[in-house]
Structure 1
């Protein structure tokens, strides 16, 4: 019964699918895919000389057989027994650097899908402890949504550090829920914790996972059953959520304590934006940290360059748990996969240090690229009209909706144009050069709503010359929680208010001849049959929304451009390319 319940949870989250079926394509299919990807790859103009990764590196380490000890018991502070499994490398004298995995699904049988990375680390010479958090697996206590993850994590880490087989230096690893548990344990500042490796995780899961942008929980969360029943009792970001999240100050405290954070995720994952934001805050606080972002979805990272992910993680733990001077900290701290260029690249910081933030304003000039409700344009010129706006009416039954929800396998590979036609859109002219957008985007616009609440779904797409439109990224905002997710304020119908929608981070190259489009709708909805859709739910309030685009109320989207100082959109702008080069706005000199 317990095993079936666990499998249902995994499947409803999409995690089970990605773990069980991810990465099992036949090698021939992978070769064809890699070849097609290479043939279609193009670097953004002005980025050709950046620090691209071109060669694979290997890490050759001595391997050991693994001894397994079952039914390890740890009594935490309230007397609850936490149980787990200990993996020790045979033939290696202790005490040993120690890895702990805090598993809210239960540690399961030896060799399960959560344990491959742990076995790998034990083979490399680590003592590894894999435990079921309270109420899961064979552990005592009552399970709940992140219930006691911090306190129990602290107690397990300190217990492990005090064992004869441990040298007192403890690290943690794990993905998704097993990454969230790491952040919550680190929040308690266990003195023996020296390094963490949260994979596809979040530090504020209210905003990232359960209520994106303050919106309702979506179908992927509703499918979580009892967890959703608990979460919906806390619709706002109240004290209950704050106990289960990390504030900026708490991240700064972890950084100050010296924990070395190896943070990773995927551009096409629904939780990773929370990890990327955590890295931004952690590194800004001076924390020892590295960020790796793959093109992947909700799964372990694969295909990382120059090292495979497991090797990179081992180098990190070797440096901060064993004290080996292997130079991993001397490499640039950010490693990203640039989609479109389809290649890995090192950067010194996130956001990228030489980002050119460009505002593109909403205009009522027709783009002639789509038959949407308004077919507006995106331009670098501020509007000068006295009055101009675009409007749509929303209902939870009829939309308009955008199919922006992510699946367990990532973004939907569909043409978004038929759905965009039901919304308000703004589209650039065709690009004269391939253009890289890497970083955090945001849309700031003035809107009038005739109801006390509304949602804004903002989607950015790549429009090909044939008119097909592919989702790049999206962002979400509940209007009544725009100022505070703790204390929502009902809208005053008829008032014109300014809203900023934070669009999730990405790294993407738009090809020459393609266009960039922004669509705004009142809701996001899964497609019929879409597996494990993740993202927000629907606002129950019907509304009519008017978005302004005039001199008094200029609305815009901010793009983080790399390599160019502005959007170069026609062949007539050839001189603009030269001027960008002359001003040093093209390239990074790296």
Structure 2
């Protein structure tokens, strides 16, 4: 078997998404240092078409780098755009690459830098309609800049965040693995960011964390994006456990202007970097810019607005809007009768005698998301990761099985859970997983979500409500859907006091319900 070098693999994957151009080769300027508003040098490169600017100026794209990466990240995409008549600048955000300054996580300085770069382009070239694009960190900066600078006509935000809090503190739970990756890989990090991360980990001054996050989150700027009429393309991945698709679907639903949503298998940024869902993400990005920066009538504005690719099978489906379906199945939770039995999920409410189950903190189980980052990345290539479901139920977890599905159960959207519990401590954590379980007891993760209660009513029955992460998954015939709940997960920070019990009461007046959207 031959093994391709990573650069060759990336090049072949990316180039497969582009339509060859017959226009002349562009001029590449490898190093451009632009002095921004506070004297900091921002390092950039530039592709200039070898064709005269059209009457309205060059359609222009400004690429913003990923976390840890620099201005050279988008060379393949930038060159191809320039060959098709675009003026393209890529830059290293402050604190990354050869740019000066400190990494402020899309703070005021970084947003001001982007506007200064636009000023520079307008001062030196004939700039027509302008687009911003980026993956991850670049996507977040692109969205916030577009909201604050009305010169931006279109955005392609890939694996981005509309809500910083959801990324680092989902369900009041510290996203330990991803937060640690971010804070330890930026060598010029603003000390304020370290303070915010320390406060999150200690569950202290959460109001201060929220004040830090709000101006860095695109959801805070929906009126501005709508007023500007920005054409917004958004892409997120189902196994992206840093920037989950839920807040991106929320942003999508609030936008009034031209918009398109891509939901893909795979984990954070990997799907886009390795060619983008069989080329679909980058091909759609190019078509988006052709329509809204070059005014080409390519039909993308009249196509379905939501492209959703099914996990594992990688089958692409298109829908008019999100949510993609209004059909749901409501599963009522029914008790297990010992630690050695699973509970059940039925479409009929529980109507038996008062009953209760309990499970405990203090240990992880086989319910989980697999090996952090690696398992999630494998999914993008259609490689499922299995869990032995027989090793989950017991003292530290509880499972509920649905009836057998005798036809394909096509889950599309955001499952939700309403559940009655009695916690023994004011601070408890639930890790909620949804699995596809086959006849041999092997499960494939459909979706999950964490929830940490920081001030629960001890010993009192209370109802929790939560959304699991948005997904698209086909449960095969002969399989069941399993809801597995424990108290620890490999990518999340454990509670300091793990010696607690969670009781699940069952009463006709206290129905715990899992709602699953499907076709």
TM-score (norm 2): 0.85
Question: Does 2:373 match 1:407?
Answer: yes
- Counterpart of 1:222? 180
1:265 corresponds to 2:236: yes
For residue 206 of structure 1, give the secondary structure of its aligned residue in structure 2: helix
CA contact (8 A) 2:386 2:444 kept: yes
| Equivalent pair of 1:127/1:166 in contact (CA under 8 Å) | no
C-alpha spacing 1:330/1:60, structure 2 compared with 1 (3 Å) = farther
8 Å CA contact 1:153, 1:182 repeated in 2: no
| Residue 362 (structure 1) aligned to one of 329, 333, 351 | 333
Which of 437, 447, 457 is 1:473 aligned to?
Answer: 447
CA displacement, residues 142-166 of structure 1 (integer Å, 9 cap, x when unaligned): 2233343653354235315523424
Q: 2-side partners of 1:242 and 1:450: how far apart?
A: 34
CA RMSD of aligned residues (A): 3.0
- Partner residue of 2:203? none
Secondary structure of the corresponding residue to residue 328 of structure 1: coil
Cα displacement string for residues 553-581 of structure 1 (whole angstroms, at most 9, x for unaligned residues): 2111110021xxxxxxxxxxxxxxxxxxx
Is 2:102 aligned against 1:136? Answer: no
Other structure's SS at 1:238 match = helix
Which residue number in structure 2 is paired with residue 442 of structure 1? 416
Residue 99 of structure 1 aligns with which residue? 61
Unmatched 5+ stretches in structure 2 = 201-205
Which of residues 211, 234, 241 is equivalent to 1:239? 211
List per-residue Cα deviations over 1:248-283 (Å, max 9, x = no partner). x52242133111111112222224534x53244334
Distance 2:468 2:163 in 1: 16
Q: For residue 459 of structure 1, report the CA deviation from its aligned partner.
A: 0.2
Q: Deviations over 1:121-146 (max 9, x none)?
A: 22222111111222222222222333
Please state how far the C-alpha of 1:304 moved relative to its aligned partner. Answer: 6.8
Residues 1:452 and 2:422 are matched in the alignment: no
SS of 1:466 mapped into structure 2: coil
Name the counterpart of 2:467: 502
Is the 2:178–2:242 Cα contact (8 Å) retained in structure 1?
no
Q: In the alignment, which residue of structure 2 is the partner of 1:431?
A: 405
Q: Deviations over 1:342-381 (max 9, x none)?
A: 42111001111x4212210100267xxxx96551000011
Q: Which residue of 2 aligns with 1:325?
A: 297
How far apart, in 1, do the equivalents of 2:506 and 2:126 lie?
Answer: 62
Three-state SS of the structure 2 residue aligned to 1:198 is: strand
SS, match of residue 117 in structure 1? helix
With over 3 angstroms needed to count, the CA separation of the structure-2 counterparts of 1:551 and 1:166, relative to structure 1, is: farther
Per-residue deviation at 1:536? Answer: 2.2
Alignment of 1:22-421 (within 5 A): 59=19, 61-93=21-53, 95-103=57-65, 105=67, 108=70, 112-148=72-108, 151-156=111-116, 158-160=118-120, 162-188=122-148, 190-208=149-167, 210-223=168-181, 224-225=183-184, 229-235=194-200, 236=206, 237-247=209-219, 250-274=221-245, 277-298=247-268, 299-301=270-272, 308-339=280-311, 342-352=314-324, 354-364=325-335, 374-395=341-362, 398-400=363-365, 402-404=367-369, 406-408=372-374, 409-410=377-378, 413-421=385-393
Task: Find the residue that maps to 1:378 and give its secondary structure.
Answer: strand
Q: Aligned to 2:226, what secondary structure does the other structure show?
A: helix
Runs (4+) of structure 1 exceeding 4 A deviation are: 19-27, 56-61, 104-109, 302-307, 371-374
Matches within 5 A, 1:484-503: 490-503=455-468
Offset, 1:22: 11
RCO (CA 8 Å, sep 6+): is it higher in 1 or 2? 1
CA drift at 1:523 = 1.1
Provide the rounded CA distance (Å) in 2 between the counterparts of 1:261 and 1:509: 29
Question: Which segment drifts farther, 175-184 or 150-159?
Answer: 150-159
> Is 1:541 aligned to 2:465, yes or no?
no
User: Please, which moves more after superposition, 547-556 or 512-521?
Assistant: 547-556
User: Alpha-carbon deviations, 1:431-473, whole Å to 9, x = none?
Assistant: 1211101001111101111112111110000001111111111
Instruction: Indicate conservation of the 8 Å contact 2:306/2:322, yes or no.
Output: yes
- Cα 1:25–1:435 change in 2 (3 A) is farther
SS at match of 2:32: strand
Gaps of 5+ in 1: 1-18, 28-55, 481-489, 526-534, 563-590
8 Å CA contact retained: 1:459, 1:520: yes
Query: Structure 1 pair 214/467, CA: closer, same or farther in 2 (3 Å)?
Result: same
Equivalent position of 1:50 in the other structure: none
Q: Residue by residue, what CA displacement relative to the aligned partner does 1:104-129 show, whole Å, maximum 9, x if unpaired?
A: 657647xx444322222222221111
Q: TM-score by structure 1 length?
A: 0.75
Selected match of 1:552 from 495, 500, 509: 509
Task: Report the number of matched residues.
Answer: 485
Instruction: Tell me by how many angstroms 1:25 deviates.
Output: 13
Distance 1:69 1:26, change over 3 A: closer
The Cα offsets for residues 29-49 of structure 1, whole Å up to 9 and x where unpaired, read as: xxxxxxxxxxxxxxxxxxxxx
* SS of alignment partner, residue 414 of structure 2: strand
Shift of 1:491: 2.1
CA distance in 1, matches of 2:235, 2:35: 31
Superposed displacement of residue 201, structure 1: 1.3
Quickly say closer, same or farther: Cα 1:170–1:448, change in 2 above 3 A: same
Give 1:418 shift: 4.7
Aligned partners of 2:37 and 2:113 also within 8 Å: no
